[in-house]
């Protein structure tokens, strides 16, 4: 059962008196600690030296630069990993590294992270002197050990939760390792490697390494990559992350994006000059992620590294085609999953506390998206499994709901049942794991039991959070533009959405599944407002004779044929009559 809940404002938060009252209300409902969190200047970034392991990392890089060692970047296969990899390569080359390569271990052949198997391949083909992991590595105990056996140094840069036993790397930079007091624990992998490069520039500046022959790199030129990677990885937008994203968006809007990002925006049909964080989240991120899900993320990395617009556009088209394939695969998997769950009613109170699903036909690169879709419908933690090696291994992708730390839950299951889980890792809201096929039934029971222990019945009820009602006078284009510019909005700093009762003047179907409406606020019947709801389920469609409707919506700027107008983007139809 879904219920509407209005957010509680922090009345003690002092904000400028001249700020629009609606915006004041929104900010007071965003867990800000003070007005200073609204200042998104780069000068307010947490300094690099606050991150544990930074000095050792910089020492390692300076030594590698002085001896022109062969550096190999080992990347994760998602958008955060791709942007991290591109950023590291661009920065290191500007600092003067002449031998920099990268590899993305194919998820289907090598699995996740720096494994002994991939180290063995690297020793044969690349002969690296220094391996730098980006957006992975914190759990690669065996992989780092294998690298040391071939006399290769290892620098780990990661942001995932650290296990009890850390790899014996030459340096580890991860704000989520024990003993690190860097306040932004939510920073993405691309943010971590950016901080390493910031610290390296600082040390080289102190050593007098920059001059007429080697100008000091402009690190702001990397911020478009950081904005994309941070938004695509759906990490919480704390103050530090909002600074990074806001500056990256500003550069992209100003036409300073690298050709690859510009091409991806072009293919996605996004207006660069009016770019928002959601455009990166839903327009660019999925196209970049599609490469890692279905094939090889090298296509995405090469697109981001492209220096020429034509090359970048061709690669962006390839990524777009992969994304279309991914959508079809996802659609088939979603239909199969929902057919298997047809025995349940999403509104029943006796639903299991969690779902653990497997189908022999499912694609391991798409099970994460499938888990998200099921979670959204049933409001339950979900793990979707795919067969990796026939009869030998299942790989699962987990997605969670608020109040259920999925990585900690997997840790608890593994601790209580040491024989079940081969390996696992992740965050509070998303995780991955592997297990043997014959352990699936036992794991399902253990996981569902852990969910029952940790989740109350109230937590299993989906809540639609609203910022309250909007006065009729504030239903204007100017208000929508004000809110749009007050971001960036994203995970844990959600874009404002409001609830209200409207007179339903007109409704019509677009594309078979979208609902276009003409509305008037009940309190001001003479005011006319356009609204649209996408992908409306048949059971939520207003009756043809309905004259009133209750909605949860966002204020949006509709740019149609170079004309800007207010449009309500409907998130939920609460009822109609």
Residue 346 clears pLDDT 70, i.e. is over it: no
Mean pLDDT of 358-372: 93
pLDDT at 548 over 70: yes
Q: What pLDDT is attached to residue 164?
A: 86
Reply yes or no on whether the pLDDT at 18 is more than 90: yes
Please tell me the distance from the alpha carbon of residue 97 to that of residue 84, in angstroms, as a whole number: 17
Task: Write out pLDDT tens, residues 462-484.
Answer: 899 999 999 999 999 999 999 99
pLDDT of residue 366: 93
For 341-460, CATH number?
3.10.310.30
Q: What angle do CA 46, 49, 53 make, to 5 degrees?
A: 125
Give percent of the chain with pLDDT exceeding 90: 80
List, for residues 162-185, the tens digit of each pLDDT value: 888 999 999 999 999 999 999 999
- pLDDT of residue 538 exceeding 90, the answer is no
* CATH topology for the 44-222 domain: inorganic pyrophosphatase (n-terminal core) (3.90.1640)
Report residue 457's pLDDT band, with 50, 70 and 90 as the boundaries. confident
224 pLDDT higher than 70: yes
Distance CA(561)–CA(92), nearest Å, equals 43
In this predicted structure, the answer to whether residue 115 has a pLDDT above a threshold of 70 is yes
Q: Please report the pLDDT score of residue 561 as a whole number.
A: 77
Is the CA virtual torsion 435, 439, 440, 446 positive or negative?
Answer: negative
Higher pLDDT: 82 or 392? It is 82
Sequence-separated (6 or more) residues with CB below 8 Å from residue 34: 13, 14
Res 107: pLDDT: 65
Average pLDDT (502-517) is 92
**HEC profile for 58-73?**
HHHHHHHHHCCCCEEE
**Average pLDDT of every residue of the chain:** 93
Q: What is the pTM of this model?
A: 0.92
60 vs 74, 143, 269, 496, CA distance in Å?
16, 19, 43, 45
Is the pLDDT at 417 greater than 90? The verdict is yes
Out of 44-58, 206-220, 281-295, 333-347, the most confident range is 44-58
Mean pLDDT of 330-352: 82
Q: Please tell me the CATH code under which domain 3-33+464-576 is placed.
A: 2.40.50.460
Mean pLDDT (whole number) for 28-47: 95
Q: According to the model, what pLDDT value does residue 505 have? A: 96
Picking from 235, 250, 249, the residue whose alpha carbon sits closest to that of residue 184 is 235
In this structure, of 1-5, 47-51, 192-196, 447-451, the range with the lowest mean pLDDT score is: 1-5
Confidence of residue 31 (pLDDT cuts 50, 70, 90): confident
Predicted local distance difference test score (pLDDT) of residue 108: 64
Q: What's the sign of the alpha-carbon dihedral 301, 305, 310, 311?
A: negative
On whether the CB atoms of residues 498 and 469 are closer than 8 A, the answer is yes
Q: Which of 442, 450, 439, 332 minimizes the C-alpha distance to 380? A: 450
Mean pLDDT confidence for 101-107: 84
> Given the DSSP bridges, would you call strands 71-75 and 100-103 parallel, antiparallel or unpaired?
parallel
Q: Where are the domains positioned within the chain? A: 3-33+464-576, 44-222, 341-460
Confidence at residue 427, expressed as pLDDT on a 0 to 100 scale? 79
Between 109 and 66, whose confidence is greater?
66
Residue 395: what pLDDT?
92
Q: Where does the pLDDT of residue 348 fall: very low under 50, low under 70, confident under 90, or very high at 90 and above?
A: low
Q: What band does 367 get if pLDDT is binned at 50, 70 and 90? A: very high
Buried b / exposed e along 340-365 (16+ C-beta atoms within 10 A): ebeebeeeeeebbbbbbbbbeebbbb
* Distance linking the first and last C-alpha atoms of the chain: 20
Q: In what order do the strands lie in the sheet with 355-358?
A: 355-358, 382-389, 393-399, 430-435, 421-426
Ranking 288-292, 389-393, 569-573 by mean pLDDT, the lowest is 389-393
């Amino acid at each position: 059962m879904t219920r509407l809940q209005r957010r509680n404002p922090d009345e003690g938060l002092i904000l400028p008196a001249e700020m629009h009252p609606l915006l004041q209300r929104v900010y007071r409902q965003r867990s800000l600690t003070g007005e200073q969190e609204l200042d998104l200047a780069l000068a307010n970034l947490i300094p690099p030296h606050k991150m544990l392991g930074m000095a050792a990392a910089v020492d390692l890089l300076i030594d590698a630069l002085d001896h022109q060692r062969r550096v190999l970047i080992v990347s994760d296969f998602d958008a955060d990993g791709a942007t991290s990899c591109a950023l590291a390569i661009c920065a290191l080359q500007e600092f003067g590294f002449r031998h920099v390569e990268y590899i993305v271990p194919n998820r289907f052949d090598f699995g996740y992270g720096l494994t002994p198997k991939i180290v063995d391949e690297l020793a044969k083909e690349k002969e690296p002197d220094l391996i730098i992991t980006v957006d992975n590595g914190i759990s690669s105990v065996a992989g780092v050990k294998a690298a040391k056996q071939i006399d290769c140094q290892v620098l780990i840069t990661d942001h995932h939760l650290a296990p009890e036993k850390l790899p014996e790397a030459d340096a580890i930079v991860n704000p989520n390792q024990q003993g690190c007091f860097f306040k932004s624990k939510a920073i993405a992998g691309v943010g971590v490697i950016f901080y390493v490069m910031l610290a390296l520039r600082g040390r080289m500046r102190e050593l007098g390494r920059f001059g007429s022959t080697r100008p000091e790199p402009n690190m702001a030129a990397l911020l478009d990559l950081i904005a994309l990677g941070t938004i695509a990885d759906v990490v919480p937008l704390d103050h530090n992350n909002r600074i990074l994203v806001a500056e990256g968006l500003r550069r992209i809007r100003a036409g300073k994006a690298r050709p690859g990002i510009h091409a991806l925006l072009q293919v996605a049909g996004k207006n660069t000059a009016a770019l928002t964080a959601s455009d990166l989240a839903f327009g660019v991120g999925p196209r970049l992620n599609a490469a890692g899900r279905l094939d090889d993320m090298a296509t995405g990395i090469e697109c981001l590294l492209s220096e020429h617009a034509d090359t970048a556009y061709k690669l962006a088209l390839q990524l777009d085609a992969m994304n279309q394939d991914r959508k079809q695969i996802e659609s088939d998997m979603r239909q199969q999953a929902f057919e298997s769950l047809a025995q349940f009613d999403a509104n029943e109170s006796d639903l299991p506390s969690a779902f653990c699903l497997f189908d022999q036909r499912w694609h391991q690169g798409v099970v994460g998206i499938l888990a998200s879709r099921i979670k959204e419908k049933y409001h339950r933690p979900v793990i979707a499994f795919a067969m990796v090696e026939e009869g030998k291994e299942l790989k699962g992708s987990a997605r969670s709901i608020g109040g259920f730390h999925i990585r900690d839950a997997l840790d608890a299951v593994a601790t209580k049942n040491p024989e079940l889980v081969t390996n696992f890792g992740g965050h509070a809201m998303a995780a991955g794991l592997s297990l043997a096929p014959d352990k699936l039934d036992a794991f399902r029971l253990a996981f569902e039991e852990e969910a029952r222990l940790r989740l109350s019945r109230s937590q299993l009820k989906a809540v639609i959070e609203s910022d309250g009602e909007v006065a009729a006078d504030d239903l204007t284009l100017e208000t929508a533009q004000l809110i749009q510019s007050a971001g960036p909005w994203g995970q844990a700093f959600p874009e404002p959405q409001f609830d209200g009762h409207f007179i339903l003047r007109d409704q019509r179907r677009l594309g078979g599944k979208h609902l276009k409406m003409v509305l008037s606020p009940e309190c001001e019947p003479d005011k006319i407002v356009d609204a649209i709801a996408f992908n409306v389920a048949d059971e939520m469609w207003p009756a043809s004779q309905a004259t009133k409707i209750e909605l949860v919506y966002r204020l949006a700027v509709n740019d149609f044929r170079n004309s800007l107008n207010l449009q309500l983007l409907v998130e939920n139809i609460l009822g109609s009559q």
